[in-house]
Amino acid sequence: MKKISLIVLFFFPLQITAQNWAAICNLNNPVNTFFEDTILDELFFGGTFSYINSDTMVGIAKWNGSKVSTLGCGVEWDCITPGFGSGTYPVNGIVRFDGNIYTIGSFYTASGISVNGLAIWNGTQWDNIGTGLKTRSGNIGIGNGVKVINNELYVYGSFDSISGLPVNSIAKFDGANWNSVHNFPLIPTSTGSINNIFDVEIYNNELYVCGIFHNLPVGTIYNIIKWNGNDWVSVGDGIRGGFVYVNKMLVFKNELIVAGKFSKTVYQNNPGENIGKWNGIQWTELGNGTDDIIRDIKVHNDTLYACGAFRNAGGIPADRIAKWDGTKWCGLGTMIDNVVGALCFYHDTLYIGGGFWTINGDSISRLAKWVGGNYIDTCGNTTSIDELDNQVNNILIFPNPFSDYATLSLSKPLFNASLIVYDIIGKEVNRMENLNGKEIRISRNSMSKGMYFFRVVEGIINVGKGKMIVE
């Protein structure tokens, strides 16, 4: 039999309950970043929150596995006035370097001390780093992240100086002095603009920098650049398009993974949908990517995890969080009502933070950890097969393929359920609500010829999933 290439779904039984997730505390605003401190065995988290469990803790806090505590008065709080913490100036990055905790964002103060977006915590009190981050106009700069690379502290964002040293949105600290990073250039996206840098990473002994910047129409740099030992050069064709950016990078299976907001539909040479990989020579895709923005990526146990605003990954349901093993994408069987902005592993346990209020219908606000064992829900990968399996999860669909109508037959009756249909890249193309009984009749409506995936949901429970072919 002649083989065809398509996306195959593998299904595993999973009980979809919020008991798989546990709340850590109640926050009034989102978590943007995590730092797993192996020195003190604590999990630091930062964001725009100003209250934790009704206590004033502004912008930054830490968790030791049993309780949450603050770092002094945090950021943007005068340490005195209840409710004074604004919660509008976020903490975007946290890291330990040379025995201290460095915190970066767009906040003005820490425990009442003027810090201008960059502060240092010595374990008992906050201090500034000179004048902090500044723009050429004298206003506060924006810090997007901090990272330790080769025993040096890298600071990046959108600013013209750090502690008085002129730089173009990126600098490094060797423990004694601040320095520019190989004289990183001002890349003139527009007249008078400042570079906007989101991440840095080492790959094949070269330093990569990503964000929002380009030198078109005169150059070839677009949102990602690398230092080759002699000069700053473009990375392939870059990642292009209007309102496109790269915000995270890491090395996975000997390739550089980049993620953010980009698509082949806006520029055909982009490496897929919101995530791609670079092998030092060319860009390639990770499956079919995701259907919306990726905010964070991490590697754990030889698996890549991604989170963000997406609802599907690789053409399969993956609500705000998914994992990639190098071959296929898997969802985690979780329904989350808003963006997951950050993820990490602490004590070998998955933690997520973001702007969500509920997980699987239960109130879990902005910060949660996984407590539920194996979380593989649905996986798919591109492979070659001889035939299609038309029966999954006790749902029969007939005829299949179909041209006008098909009937889904279930082993148990539905009550007020929903049927959602997705195309091959995970875009929702059809939805039916308020379904009851043991059969669902579905019309092709505007679906063109091709393969589609569906799932049936009753409340917060995934009743079943499958695939259908329209001819």
Could you report the per-residue pLDDT of 207-226, keeping only the tens digit for each?
999 999 998 877 889 999 99
Taking residues 272-283, report their average pLDDT.
97
Task: Report whether pLDDT(383) > 80.
Answer: no
Domain boundaries, the chain: 4-383, 388-470
**Segment 169-207, tens digit of pLDDT:** 999 999 999 999 999 999 976 666 899 999 999 999 999
pLDDT band at residue 376 using 50, 70 and 90 as cut-offs: very low
- Order across the sheet with 340-346: list the strands: 21-23, 367-370, 349-354, 340-346
CA angle 429, 434, 438 (to 5 degrees): 95
**Segment 278-333, tens digit of pLDDT:** 999 999 999 989 999 999 999 999 999 999 999 999 888 889 999 999 999 998 88
Taking residues 71-87, report their average pLDDT.
77
Q: Which sign does the torsion angle of CA 47, 48, 54, 57 carry?
A: positive
pTM of the predicted model, to two decimals? 0.79
How many residues comprise the chain?
471
Q: Which residues contact 416 (CB under 8 A, 6 or more apart)?
A: 434, 435, 436, 458, 459
pLDDT band at residue 445 using 50, 70 and 90 as cut-offs: confident
CATH class of segment(s) 388-470:
mainly beta
Taking residues 416-424, report their average pLDDT.
84
CATH 3.40.50.10860 fits 4-383, yes or no: no
With beta carbons less than 8 A apart as the criterion, state whether 130 and 117 touch: no
Residue 451 class from Cβ within 10 Å (0-12 exposed, 13-18 middle, 19+ buried)? middle
DSSP per-residue codes, 62-100: EE-SS-EEESTT-BS--SSSTT-----S-EEEEEEETTE
With beta carbons less than 8 A apart as the criterion, state whether 45 and 25 touch: no
Residue 449 class from Cβ within 10 Å (0-12 exposed, 13-18 middle, 19+ buried)? exposed
Q: What phi-psi label fits residue 443: left (phi over 0), alpha (psi between -120 and 50 degrees) or beta?
A: beta
Highest mean pLDDT among 86-100, 124-138, 186-200, 434-448 belongs to 124-138
User: Mean pLDDT for the chain?
Assistant: 87
